[in-house]
Each structure stands twice: as structure tokens, then as C-alpha cells.
Amino acid sequence: MADHSGTSDSPYAGLLRAALTDLLLTRGAIQDQRVADAFRTVPRHLFVPQVPVELAYTDDVVLMKRDQSGVAISSVSQPTVVAVMLEQADIQPGHRVLEIGSGGYNAALLSELVSPAGAVTTIDIDEDVTARAWRGLDAAGYPNVRVQRADGEFGWPGGAPYDRIIVTVTAWDIAPAWLEQLAPGGRIVVPLRMRSQTRSTAFDLCDGFLESRSMAVCGFVAMQGAGAGYERSVPLRGELVSLTFDEDQGDQPVPPARVLEQKIATAWSGVLMNREEPLCDLDLWLASTLPGFCLLVAEPRAVKKKLVSPAPRWGASAIASDTSLGYLTARAAADPDFVELGAIAHGPDAPRLARSLVDQVCKWDQKHRGGSGPQLRIYPADLPKAELPVGFQLRKRHHQLVLSWPE
């Protein structure tokens, strides 16, 4: 447990911290009393000194750095996401933990959870970030956390083996070094990107492969360095509407740039969704069942001009062929709290694409909606396909991922 006697904590900050912790408990992001105690203890405002103390204790991400083109590359993560990942990691006293992607705050929480005997190492690729993390940890009274500048793709062998590896930056694959540095029975928690969708996934090591224990939707800045993944954006109608393909979809056909001006087909599913209900599980289901899957992203202007009507506009599930495009849409239902899901498609193959999207929406609704969600297993890249279990297979650089949907 850290000694905060010499820090610039205050009773007011303590009250704000307690309120934030209560909020996270109420929302179910925190379930373990030890995680709640850590949140009540670690002074988050000392890790984000540039914002007012009230902002430090709202449930928001604090953006810390952008690259030259304005893209966010470092932040202090949203407390809800931090809490969910700590719950997924199930950190115990005495654990040795590696955090990839620093900022200091999460490392301090980890330090609370492993104390008195464990060890926390946090690494970041960016020298500004490690310097900032170190200052925050020092100010908050956590000098025992080891802060190193390193590319997370290679882990940090100096502190291995680790009982837990927590990655707090979006990864496209599981780096081989993480497996090498994980202790027997260890767990990796990582925001993993699959078909442009990111899930914080907790993996346990079982018989030489990794098996998921839980998944949670999240958003993180993208990994830099040797493990960086790439997405391809294909513009339609200038930059107003675009299609996003993931790195492993390099050879996927794309429709012509003027496809949205072509023949249109619409199909409705009869599946109703509460307006507040997230589409995340459905999106992953569609990604794993529809050949030609991609994401359709639309500027607000494109929706206003009625060029497209995607649900949701910041990334609607879509399917593309070399002639046609279909995407998920929604219309108001009789009950104002609900919408009905459907599909809009353009191009010569529009009726078939709209139908296949809607068929999969119905299948998900009947078999998987509200269920335990998908399971993910990770195998070495050189394992013959015939030895992989049944499921949706994704080939990454170092590993093959198999996503299955228990009914």
C-alpha cells in the first residue's frame, strides 16, 4: 500500500474519488471490493495535473498527446474501462504484473492490488509518457513501480515471468514475447482488434494455447512500433462515406466509388433493439459470418444529405463485393424506445447483399442475443488449418484466431 502522507492529495479530491468509485460500483464496472478500495485510494488527479480536479474524477478519458496529424496517441484511460480490465485481470496480492502502455494511474492501481509483496512494471514506447508516468507515480507515492521505455511488442524480459500482462493500447495480434514472459497459469488482458472492432479480452494459458475468459467492448489508441496494425480506408463519394478494411483483408474486393448512386434494395428483419442497447455483439457476429465484411463510416453531413443511413454512422457493419455494397440500417419502431434493424444495399447484387445481412441479424437474434457471447482461441500461425477447431478463423502475423459462438 502506498504512503500518501507526502502527496498533494486533499479531502476534497478524496470525496470526488469516493463518488467516482460509487458510480463505477453502481454501473457494475467494479465488482471486487479490492478494486473499489484501490479506486478510493489512488489520487487520479496527480496523473492528469493539467485538468481541474473535478474533471480528473469524471468518468472520462483524458487525452494527453496527439501526433503531428492530430491523431490521439496517448491518454489516461476512462475509469470505467480501467475498472473493467482490472476485473478481467483478477489481480491478486503477490502477483508480478507487466503493464504495456503507461500513464501511471493504472500502474498505481495495480500496485495497490499486488501489495504488499508483488511487483508492477509499466512500459511505454514514448519517452514523454514514461517521464510523465514516473512523475505521477512519484507524486502519488508509488516509487516501487518500475517504469521503462520499451516497445511493448517485445514485453519486458527483465521482470518476467509475469502472472498478469495488461495491455492498455489496441493490439492487432498477440505478441510472441507476451507468451514467453507469461508465468504458467498466467493471464493476458488485451484490447484486441478483429475486423476493425476492439474487445478487451482476458486470455488464460491452457494446454499451449490461449483461451478467452471474458470480453468487453472498449476503445484505445492504436499500438505503435513493431506490433502496429494497419487499416485500409476506401473512400466513397469523396471522403463523406468510407469503408474500413482490417489488415488481414488486403485482398478483399471493393465496390466502385460511385456504388451509392446505383440501384438500391432494402430488407427489414423484424428484430427490434432498444435505442440504448449496444450493437457490439451483433457487429462481431456479422464480422464472423458474412464474407466481404467491412465497416461503413459516414460523416454527419452524409447522413444529413441522405447519401447513406447507417446504424450507427460511426461504424456500421457492411458487406462489400466488387460490384455492390450492403450495410446495416435501422428505422423507428412503433415503440419510440425501439428501432427495427434492416439492411440497405446498392449495386447489381443489392437484393442478395441486403437479404444476407438481414438473415444473419435474424440468426443472431434467435441463437445468440443475450447469450454468453463469443469465445476466442489463439493458436500459433504455423498450426495446420485442419488442426484448428471449428469457427471463424482470422490469420494474423504471429497467430491464428478462432472465434466461436456457443449457443
Ligand X SMILES: C[S@@+](CC[C@H](N)C(=O)[O-])C[C@H]1O[C@@H](n2cnc3c(N)ncnc32)[C@H](O)[C@@H]1O
Residues at the contact surface with ligand X, assessed by CB under 6 A: 73-77, 100-106, 123-126, 129, 151-153, 168-169, 220-221, 223-225, 227
Strand duo 375-380 + 293-298: pairing: unpaired
C-alpha span between 34 and 189 (Å, rounded): 18
Among 77, 102, 111, 309, the one annotated catalytic:
77
Whose grid coordinates read 492530430? 70
Q: Is 77 a catalytic residue?
A: yes
**Three-class SS state of 254:** coil
118 vs 326 by CB, closer to ligand X: 118
Rounded to the nearest whole angstrom, what is the least distance from the CB of residue 385 to ligand X in the complex? 30
The residues, any chain, with a CB within 8 Å of residue 328's CB and separated by 6 or more, are 279, 286, 310, 311, 316, 317, 318, 341, 342, 343, 357, 361
Considering the complex, what minimum distance in angstroms separates the CB of residue 152 from ligand X? 3
Least distance between ligand X and beta carbon 380 (Å): 21
- Rounded to whole angstroms, the Cα distance separating 96 from 10 reads 30
99 neighbors 120 (Cβ within 8 angstroms)? yes
Where helices occur in 160-293 by DSSP H, the ranges are 176-180, 280-289
CB 150 to ligand X: min, Å: 7
Judge contact between 181 and 157, C-beta under 8 A. yes
Residue 386: helix, strand or coil by DSSP? helix
Q: Answer whether 58's CB lies under 8 Å from 20's CB.
A: yes
Return the active site residues: 77
